[in-house]
C-alpha cells in the first residue's frame, strides 16, 4: 500500500484548499468615491469624499504620485488634469495650522500636520492667510475622513485634502532640504464600467465550463490518473482505461456540507482575530501547493490528450510508487512557476500567475469533489448562501465591521493579501486597482453545474432539454447581478452567493419541478452511492 501517503496528502491539501476557498466575495479595490452617510452633512459641509491624486515636483523633478482624500467641506477639485493648477507649497508655521501662520501662504498650497485643533479651524487659518488650498498630513497611513461638527457654520472655499504620513514626510523632507516644492491636485472620475469586469466574468464562466467538460473531453481516454498525476497507479489497472468510478473522487454528503460551513465560519473568525503576515504566508504556501498540483494535472492531461502514448511510460519512486514519466517532468516546472509567483507576487504582473494557478486549482477541485444529487447541493448552497450574507452584512452587528471584508482586505496582515481569488487590473481606470472574485464564488455554483452536466450526459438529455445550459446562463446572470450590486453599493464588497445561489440552484429546482424530474434529481445517485465503495466522502 505504498500509495497511502500520497493519497492522504492529496486529500488533506484538497480539504484545506476548500476551507480557504470559502472566503468568497466579489469586490473591487481602491474605489475613487468614499461616500459615508454616517458622518454629518451640513450646509457648506456636504461634499462626497473623493480620492485625490497629489502630483508633486521637487526642483522640477516629479516624484511619486500620492493618493489623498478630500474633506466633507471646501471647494471641489477638478476631475481633469489639464484643469488643475500647479501651486508652490509652503509649510505652515506653526506646523499644525491652528493659529495664524508666520509663513507667507498667498497663492500657495499650505502644508500642515494633523492635531491640536479641528480640521475646519486649520482650513480657516490657511484660507485667511491667502492659501489656495490645504494639505493635511495624517499621523498614520490611513486616510482619515475630515468632517464638520454639528456647530460648524463657517464657509470654507479652498480645497482641503488629507494625505498619508509617508507621503507627507517625503514632501517635508524635500522642503527641509531647500528644494522648491510644487503640487497639483485633481480627482479624476472612475468609469462606470471597466473592461476588466467583462474579462473577469468570462474567466469565471469559462472556468466552470472547462471544469464541467474536462472529464468528458480531456481525460476520458486517458490511461493516467486524471486528478493527481503524481499519484501512483495500481499495478492491476496499469495500462488499462479507467472509467469514472475508478477515479479518486470525494462525494460531498449533506452532513459533510453542514460541518464544512461550520468549520469555515470558525476558520474565518480565527483569521479575523489573528490575522498576521505569517498566517497569510500559510495560505500562500498552501495555494502554491494546490495550484502547482492542479496545474500539473491540467498540463499532463492536455499533453496526454494530444499525444496518446505520452502518459503511458512510468517509473517507480519512493513513497509515491508508480508515476508517469510525463508527470515527473511537468511537476517540477509547475512548482517552479508557483515559487516564481510567490516571490514576485507584489509586482504589477503577478495577477497573471495567480489567475493561472487559481484556475488550474479550481478545475482540479471540481474534478475531485462532486455533488451526488440536488438534495446535497441544496444543503451546501443554502448553507453557503446564509454563510456569505451573515459574514458580509450581519457580522458588523457583532464585530463592528464586516468580518468577511476585513479578512479579504487583509487588515493587520502586514501588506500581504489572501491569494484565494481571481483578479484583473483595471486597465482603463485612472485609479488603477483590481476587480476580484473569490474562488468560492466559482467553486460552489460550479459543483452544482458540474453535477447537471454529468446528469444530462448520463440521462442522454439534449442541450435545451437538459439542465447544464440553463444553469450556466443562470450563473452568468447571477455574476452580472453581483457586479451590478457592487456598482449600486458604491464599491462595497458584495456576497456574490446572494445572487449566484438563486440563479443556479433556483433555476435547477424550478426546471426540475416544471419537468416533473425534481424527485429524480433530489435522490439521484443514492443507490449507486450506496453500492459503491470506491468514492470518498467529505
Residues annotated catalytic, as ranges: 388, 441
- Which run of H or E residues covers position 27? strand 26-28
* Distances from the Cα of 130 to the Cα of 133, 184, 323, angstroms: 9, 17, 78
Helix, strand, or coil here: 1? coil
Q: Checking phi first, is residue 400 left (phi over 0); if not, alpha (psi -120 to 50) or beta?
A: left
Phi and psi angles of residue 429, each rounded to the nearest 5 degrees, phi first: -105, 125
CB atoms within 10 A of CB 181: 22
Residues 32 and 188: beta-carbon distance below 8 Å: yes
Closest by Cα among 215, 213, 239 to 313: 239
C-alpha cell recorded at residue 515:
419537468
Q: How many whole angstroms separate alpha carbon 73 and alpha carbon 371?
A: 55
Residue 345 half-sphere exposure, CB side, CA atoms within 13 Å?
21
- Which run of H or E residues covers position 62? strand 61-62
Helix, strand, or coil here: 482? helix
Positive or negative, the CA dihedral 106, 123, 139, 397 is negative
C-alpha cell recorded at residue 53:
491624486
Residue with cell 486529500: 11
Q: How many whole angstroms separate alpha carbon 131 and alpha carbon 126?
A: 5
C-alpha cell recorded at residue 169:
514626510
C-alpha cell recorded at residue 383:
448553507
| Alpha helices, H only, 307-439 | 325-343, 350-368, 374-389, 396-399, 403-409
Q: How many whole angstroms separate alpha carbon 311 and alpha carbon 226?
A: 11
Q: What is the DSSP string of 263-279?
A: HHHHHHHHHHHH--HHH
* Distances from the Cα of 355 to the Cα of 112, 138, 351, angstroms: 43, 36, 6
Q: How many whole angstroms separate alpha carbon 264 and alpha carbon 19?
A: 6
Which residues lie closer than 8 Å to 178 by C-beta, 6 or more apart? none
Phi and psi angles of residue 370, each rounded to the nearest 5 degrees, phi first: -140, 150
Helix, strand, or coil here: 137? strand
Amino acid at each position: 500500500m505504498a500509495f497511502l501517503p500520497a493519497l492522504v496528502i492529496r486529500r488533506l491539501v484538497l480539504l484545506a484548499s476548500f476551507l480557504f476557498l470559502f472566503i468568497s466575495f466579489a469586490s473591487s479595490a481602491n474605489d475613487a468615491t468614499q461616500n459615508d452617510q454616517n458622518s454629518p452633512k451640513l450646509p457648506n459641509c456636504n461634499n462626497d469624499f473623493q480620492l485625490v491624486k497629489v502630483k508633486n515636483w521637487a526642483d522640477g523633478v516629479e516624484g511619486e504620485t500620492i493618493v489623498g482624500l478630500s474633506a466633507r467641506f471646501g471647494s471641489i477639485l477638478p476631475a481633469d488634469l489639464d484643469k488643475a493648477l500647479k501651486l508652490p507649497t509652503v509649510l505652515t508655521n506653526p506646523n499644525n495650522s491652528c493659529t495664524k501662520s508666520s509663513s507667507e501662504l498667498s497663492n500657495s498650497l499650505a502644508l500642515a500636520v494633523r492635531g491640536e485643533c479641528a480640521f475646519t479651524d486649520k482650513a480657516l487659518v490657511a484660507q485667511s492667510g491667502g492659501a489656495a488650498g490645504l494639505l493635511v498630513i495624517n499621523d498614520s497611513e490611513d486616510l482619515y475622513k475630515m468632517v464638520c461638527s454639528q456647530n460648524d457654520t463657517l464657509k470654507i472655499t479652498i480645497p482641503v485634502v488629507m494625505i498619508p504620513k509617508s507621503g507627507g514626510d517625503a514632501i517635508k523632507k524635500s522642503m527641509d532640504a531647500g528644494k522648491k516644492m510644487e503640487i497639483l491636485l485633481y480627482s479624476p472620475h472612475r468609469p462606470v464600467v471597466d473592461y476588466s469586469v467583462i474579462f473577469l466574468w468570462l474567466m469565471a464562466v469559462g472556468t466552470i465550463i472547462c471544469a464541467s467538460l474536462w472529464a468528458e473531453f480531456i481525460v476520458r481516454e486517458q490511461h493516467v490518473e486524471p486528478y493527481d498525476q503524481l499519484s501512483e497507479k495500481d499495478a492491476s489497472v496499469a495500462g488499462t482505461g479507467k472509467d469514472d468510478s475508478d477515479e479518486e473522487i470525494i462525494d460531498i454528503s449533506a452532513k459533510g456540507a453542514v460541518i464544512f460551513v461550520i468549520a469555515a465560519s470558525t476558520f474565518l473568525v480565527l483569521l479575523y482575530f489573528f490575522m498576521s503576515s505569517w498566517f497569510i504566508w500559510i495560505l500562500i504556501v498552501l495555494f502554491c501547493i494546490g495550484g502547482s498540483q492542479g496545474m500539473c494535472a491540467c498540463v499532463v492531461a492536455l499533453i496526454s490528450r494530444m499525444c496518446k502514448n505520452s502518459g503511458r511510460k512510468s517509473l517507480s519512486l519512493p513513497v509515491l510508487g508508480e508515476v508517469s514519466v510525463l508527470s515527473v517532468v511537468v511537476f517540477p516546472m509547475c512548482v517552479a512557476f508557483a515559487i516564481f509567483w510567490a516571490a514576485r507576487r507584489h509586482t504589477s504582473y503577478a495577477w497573471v500567475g495567480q489567475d493561472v494557478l487559481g484556475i488550474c486549482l479550481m478545475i482540479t477541485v471540481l474534478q475531485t469533489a462532486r455533488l451526488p444529487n440536488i438534495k446535497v447541493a441544496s444543503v451546501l448552497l443554502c448553507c453557503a448562501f446564509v454563510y456569505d450574507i451573515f459574514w458580509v452584512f450581519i457580522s458588523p452587528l457583532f464585530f463592528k465591521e464586516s468580518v468577511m471584508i476585513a479578512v479579504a482586505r487583509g487588515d493587520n496582515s502586514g501588506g500581504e493579501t489572501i491569494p484565494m481569488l481571481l483578479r484583473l487590473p483595471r486597465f482603463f481606470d485612472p485609479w488603477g486597482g483590481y476587480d476580484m472574485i473569490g474562488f468560492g464564488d466559482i467553486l460552489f455554483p460550479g459543483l452544482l453545474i458540474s453535477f447537471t452536466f454529468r446528469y444530462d450526459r448520463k440521462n442522454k438529455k439534449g442541450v435545451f432539454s437538459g439542465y447544464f445550459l440553463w444553469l450556466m446562463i443562470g450563473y452568468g446572470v447571477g455574476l452580472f447581478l453581483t457586479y451590478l450590486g457592487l456598482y449600486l453599493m458604491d464599491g462595497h464588497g458584495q456576497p456574490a452567493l446572494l445572487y449566484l445561489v438563486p440563479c443556479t440552484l433556483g433555476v435547477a429546482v424550478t426546471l426540475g419541478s416544471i419537468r416533473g424530474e425534481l424527485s429524480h434529481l433530489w435522490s439521484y445517485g443514492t443507490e449507486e452511492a450506496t453500492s459503491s465503495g470506491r468514492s470518498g466522502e467529505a
